[in-house]
Amino acid sequence: MLEIKNLHVAVEDKPILKGIDLVVNTGELHAIMGPNGSGKSTLAHVIAGQKIYEVLDGEILYNGNNLLEMDVEERALEGVFMSYQYPAVIPGVNLAYFMKAAVNAIRKHRGEPEMDAVDFLSFIKEKLAQVKMDESYLKRAVNDGFSGGEKKRNEILQMLVLDPTLAVLDETDSGLDIDAIRIVADGVNKFRREDRAVVVITHYQRILQYMDPDKIHVLMDGRIIRSGGKNLAHELEEKGYGWLEETVVA
Partner 1 sequence: MTKNGSVEKVLSEEMQTIESRLSQEYEYGFVTDIDQETIPPGLDEETVKTISLKKNEPDWLLKWRLKAYRQWLKMEEPDWSMVKYNEIDYQAISYYAAPKSQEDGPKSLDEVDPELLETYKKLGIPLEEQKMLTGVAVDAVFDSVSVATTFKKELEKAGVIFCPFSEAVHEHPNLVKKYLGSVVPYTDNFFATLNSAVFSDGSFVYVPKGVRCPMELSTYFRINAANTGQFERTLIIADEGSYVSYLEGCTAPMRDENQLHAAVVELIAHKDATIKYATVQNWYPGDPKTGKGGIYNFVTKRGICREDNSKISWTQVETGSAITWKYPSVILKGDKTVGEFYSVALTNNFQQADTGTKMTHIGKNTKSTIITKGISAGKGQNTYRGAVKIMKGADNARNYSQCDSLLIGDKCGAHTFPYIDVRNPSAQMEHEASTSAIGEDQIYYCNQRGISTENAVSMIVNGFCKEVFRELPMEFAVEAQKLLEVSLEGSVG
Question: Which residue, 118 or 178, has its beta carbon nearer to partner 1?
Answer: 118
> In terms of Cα–Cα distance, which of 168, 8, 186 is closest to 76?
168
Closest approach of partner 1 to the CB of residue 121, in Å: 6
> In terms of Cα–Cα distance, which of 244, 222, 221, 223 is closest to 232?
244
Residues 102-141 that bind partner 1 (CB under 8 A): 102, 104-106, 109, 117-118, 120-121, 135, 138-139, 141
Question: Which residue, 101 or 248, has its beta carbon nearer to partner 1?
Answer: 101
Centre a 10 Å sphere on the Cβ of residue 119 and count the other Cβ atoms it contains: 13
Question: Which residue, 79 or 213, has its beta carbon nearer to partner 1?
Answer: 79
Question: Which residue, 167 or 216, has its beta carbon nearer to partner 1?
Answer: 167
Residues 76-95 that bind partner 1 (CB under 8 A): 76-77, 81-82, 84, 87-94
- Asked if residues 161 and 99 have their Cβ atoms less than 8 Å apart, the reply is yes
How far apart are the C-alpha atoms of 17 and 38, rounded to whole Å?
A: 8
Question: Which residue, 118 or 250, has its beta carbon nearer to partner 1?
Answer: 118
- Interface with partner 1, residue 71, by CB under 8 A: yes
> In terms of Cα–Cα distance, which of 192, 139, 141 is closest to 163?
192
Closest approach of partner 1 to the CB of residue 90, in Å: 6
> In terms of Cα–Cα distance, which of 8, 40, 34 is closest to 244?
34
Residues 188-247 that bind partner 1 (CB under 8 A): none
What H or E segment, with its residue span, contains residue 182?
helix 178-191
Residues 137-176 that bind partner 1 (CB under 8 A): 138-139, 141, 158, 162
Residues that bind partner 1 (CB under 8 A): 48-50, 71-73, 75-77, 81-82, 84, 87-94, 96-98, 100-102, 104-106, 109, 117-118, 120-121, 135, 138-139, 141, 158, 162
